[in-house]
């Protein structure tokens, strides 16, 4: 199943599946219809969420304030919204 990216006004939303406490932070491909993300940060005191926002902002070339975790802050499965990017930019993160 491919990554699903929904466009809304000037932003995109997509599902993310997070693996905290990985050896390094990286985009690891697709998990079902979600973007699979490995984060070196632990899931404690919001550290993994902060690392996720930073990785998404750096990968998509936007400011950290443009990346929002819409749902799933306490879960490995999250929905992320990014302002100022296209669905194609998100899909390029996982294309070979």
**Which CATH number is 78's domain given?**
3.30.1200.10
**How are beta strands 34-38 and 11-19 bridged, if at all?**
parallel
Q: Number of structural domains, the chain?
A: 1
Burial class of residue 2 in the structure, from the number of CB atoms within 10 Å of its CB (0-12 exposed, 13-18 middle, 19+ buried): exposed
Say how many C-beta atoms besides its own lie within 10 A of residue 53's C-beta. 19
Check whether 88 has a pLDDT greater than 80: yes
**Domain that includes residue 57, residue range:** 5-92
Percent pLDDT > 90 in the chain is 94
- pTM for this model (two decimals): 0.95
pLDDT tens digits, one per residue of 51-67: 999 999 999 999 999 99
Amino acid 96: pLDDT? 67
């Amino acid at each position: 199943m491919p990554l699903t990216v929904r466009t809304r006004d000037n932003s995109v939303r997509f599902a993310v599946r997070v693996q905290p406490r990985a050896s390094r932070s990286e985009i690891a491909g697709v998990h079902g219809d979600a973007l699979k993300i490995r984060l070196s940060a632990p899931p404690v005191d919001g550290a993994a969420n902060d690392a996720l926002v930073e990785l998404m902002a750096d990968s998509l070339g936007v400011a950290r304030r443009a990346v929002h975790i819409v749902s799933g802050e306490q879960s490995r499965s999250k929905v992320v919204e990014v302002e100022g990017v296209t669905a194609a930019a998100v899909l390029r993160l996982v294309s070979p």
